[in-house]
Amino acid sequence: MSVVRRRVLVEGDVQGVFFRDECRKQADRAGVAGSARNRSDGRVEVVLEGDEAAVKRLVDWCRQGSSRAEVTGAEVSEEEPEGLEDFATQ
């Protein structure tokens, strides 16, 4: 299994609409570790680490968001994996 790590900065109406909680549920189902947190600039920062195909699916999900969210953009960057084992919301 090839482990990868991606950081996604999600823009739009993504705070206060259960985006982080739904992201955690999606990550748990996919076996992806990481975190999701609200930023002071209104974006949600998502870190995803795991199998390359599963992380790609989660990045794609971030571009759409939860049913209540209105995503207007997602900036994705590659990072070195750190060996994360679970998913946390902050």
Tokens representing residue 85 in the block: 């084992």
Tokens representing residue 28 in the block: 């748990």
Q: Which residue among 6, 20, 24, 43 is the active-site one? A: 20
Nearest to 24 by CA among 67, 81, 62, 78: 62
Active site (annotated) includes residue 5: no
Active site (annotated) includes residue 20: yes
Q: How many residues does the chain have?
A: 90
Q: Which residue among 6, 24, 37, 38 is the active-site one? A: 38
Active site residues: 20, 38
